[in-house]
Chain A
Amino acid sequence: MRDFYLMVDCNNFYASCERVFDPSLEGRPVVVLSNNDGCVIARSNEAKALGIAMGEPAYKREDFYARSGVRVLSSNYALYGDMSARVMRTLGQFCAEAEIYSIDECFLMLRGLDSASLLDTAREIRATVKKWTGIPVGVGIARTKTLAKVANRLAKKGDGARLLEDEDDIDRVLHSTEPGDVWGIGRRSARFLAACGVRTALDLKRRPDDWVRRHLTVTGLRTVLELRQIPCIALEDAPPPARSLVCSRSFGTRVESLESLEEAVSAYVQRAAEKLRRKGLVAGTVQVFLETNRFQPGPQYCASRGRALPAPTADTLVLHGPALQILREIHKPGYKYQKAGVILLDLAPAGQRQLSFLEPSGEEKTRRDALMRVMDRVNTMHGQGTLTLAASGLGRKEWHMRQERRSPRYTTSWAELPVVC
């Protein structure tokens, strides 16, 4: 018996997450906007049917959306992240070997099943994920990850599960697939292939190995072998522990004053340090960056600078000082800034760090760690930013993200749970 890969993909993931908790969105066109409520980043099928395009700026078509009854939502990543974790955990029930590929996609590997049992399993996966989490998924099955991706596209158009195994069936499908729609074929390769007369994925599959290797390198050859049902891309194990952690946002409006930037950077340091502690890591270097919007007219500037810390830490108060110092060094007046961010580097597990004489004494350290735990707990219980450093400012700020239509954080905030009557 052979191994089979399953590509499980959530349908219209963001819109589906919203619908689980707000059933009135069912059957209606729903779009989700990018940070700052700019462009459409997710659409329900009904929204796609209305001709709403991915990435279109929502504000330009507000009248049309209103006339067509489109429900417009700000992105709610707290919700999507939690729902993704639930879907992945549910998929873990079906198989020990899995690779989380993105927020809404996962590869599974199943061994020793015949076609009928594979399709039964796929149907069971779909039913279980739908029942447990409310999220509809499609399943594509094939002997290689690349073909499983192709099968997944078909599954979405069909009844939600599709097996690609029979060689003639695969060739028929590849004949109506563009090379650029094959997983691993980038836009540049797709243009090159078109110029060479490779019009379909089937043409690509039939190209000789040495030609493929010469023009698409060994990575391209692997993709082509996978189209021939020869597994070349294994499941990736758990991703290596993060080496860096970023907290950055585009501002709601463009920001000029150093004071506002300081507040923003202060808020980002706090957020980044919180994430660091949640992962049980410490950082050795703090980096801050600033940039203007290069798509807007006017003078442009961007800068970034890092600073090594005397001892690695996850203490917000220790990280905060150098971050603001760097900001003041790189800030130049007279520019309209669009984005700032904090990057923590040289990450290491908190338990394995080297001890240093520059660290606070044991007693001081214990107190500081306790303070951080209190901050994290209060902010978990009562919402982000309940306990914050005064340096990040109070009240609504110009640099805050615009999120005027965000749904509640149904699954991660006690204050925003769904209400039942």
Chain B
Amino acid sequence: MSNILNLNQTSRDRVEILGRAVNESGGATPLYLERISAGFPSPADDYIETALDLNTYLVRNPAATFMVRVSGDSMSGAGIHDGDILVVDRSEEPVPGKIVVAVLDGELTVKRLVRKDGQIFLAPENPRYRPIAVAAEQDLHVWGVVSGVVRRL
């Protein structure tokens, strides 16, 4: 299925086994559909609940979490590439340093929120693009804070 990358992920050559993955949330087969056989119950039955659900890993506040798709390469330095899906949490505080989705001229854009010398910037993470200085009189509207990236390989 999908691969999950944390923002600011550093390359590692070690992997850690976390547990059994579940392929869809709530998709477990109800028991009554299965053949019921007499005899000892499976000793594994008690452990079925421990399946891993990507939603619980990626989504802290479901009501406030939205997915958006990235177009372009302005954030490639942060590990965000063209076609990636971003997990956006609107309930998180957009403090400087966070990667945010902001509304700029009626469009949604993803940039890092940076404060430098008292001035707020929407900064791309690609040397080919320039930071956007947000003037005091300009109405910068942060739509949500990016909390994860989802990419299928």
Chain A residues close to B by CB (< 8 Å): 21, 23-24, 26, 86-87, 89-90, 128, 131-134, 350-351, 362, 365-366, 369, 373, 377, 410-411, 414, 417-421
Contacts and interface: CB of A to CB of B under 8 A. Distances in A.
A91 to B, nearest CB: 9
A362 B101 contact: no
B86 interface: yes
B57 to A, nearest CB: 18
B90 A131 contact: yes
Nearest to A353: B32
Interface string B48-66: 0000000000000111101
Given A23-B103, A366-B33, A419 B71 contact: yes
B108 interface: yes
A22 to B, nearest CB: 8
B30 A418 contact: no
Given A23-B108, A132-B90, A420-B70, A351 B63 contact: no
Contacts of A420: 68-71, 86, 101, 108-110
Interface of B: 24, 27, 30, 32-35, 61-64, 66-72, 74, 85-86, 90-91, 101, 103, 106-110, 141, 143
Given A86-B64, A89-B63, A421 B90 contact: no
B108 A411 contact: no
A310 B69 CA distance: 47
Given A131-B90, A134-B90, A362-B35, A419 B63 contact: no
A131 B91 contact: yes
A24 B69 CA distance: 18
B35 to A, nearest CB: 6
Given A417-B67, A420-B68, A133 B90 contact: yes
Nearest to A87: B63
A108 B148 CA distance: 33
A351 B32 CA distance: 7
B127 to A, nearest CB: 17
B24, B27, B64, B110: which has the most chain A beta carbons within 10 Å? B64
A413 to B, nearest CB: 10
Contacts of A21: 108
B63 A86 contact: yes
Contacts of A410: 66
B106 to A, nearest CB: 3
Nearest to A21: B108
Contacts of A419: 68-71, 108
A134 B24 CA distance: 28
30 contacts: A23-B103, A23-B106, A23-B107, A23-B141, A23-B143, A86-B62, A86-B64, A87-B63, A89-B62, A131-B64, A132-B63, A132-B64, A132-B90, A132-B91, A133-B63, A133-B64, A351-B32, A365-B33, A369-B33, A410-B66, A411-B66, A418-B108, A419-B68, A419-B69, A419-B70, A419-B108, A420-B69, A420-B108, A420-B110, A421-B74
A90 B107 contact: no
Nearest to A369: B33
A361 to B, nearest CB: 11
A221 B110 CA distance: 56
A95 B90 CA distance: 21
Nearest to A415: B69
Given A23-B143, A90-B64, 18 more contacts: A23-B103, A23-B106, A23-B141, A86-B62, A89-B63, A128-B91, A131-B90, A132-B64, A133-B90, A350-B30, A351-B30, A369-B33, A377-B24, A410-B66, A419-B68, A419-B69, A420-B110, A421-B74
Contact of A417 (B85, B107, B109): B85
Top 8 A-B residue pairs of the complex, sorted by shortest distance between their CB atoms: A24-B106, A132-B64, A89-B63, A417-B69, A420-B108, A23-B103, A420-B110, A86-B63
Given A369-B33, A417-B68, A421-B74, A132 B109 contact: no
Nearest to A27: B106
A370 to B, nearest CB: 9
A349 to B, nearest CB: 11
B39 to A, nearest CB: 17
Contacts of B63: 86-87, 89-90, 132-133
Contacts of A87: 63
A229 B46 CA distance: 52
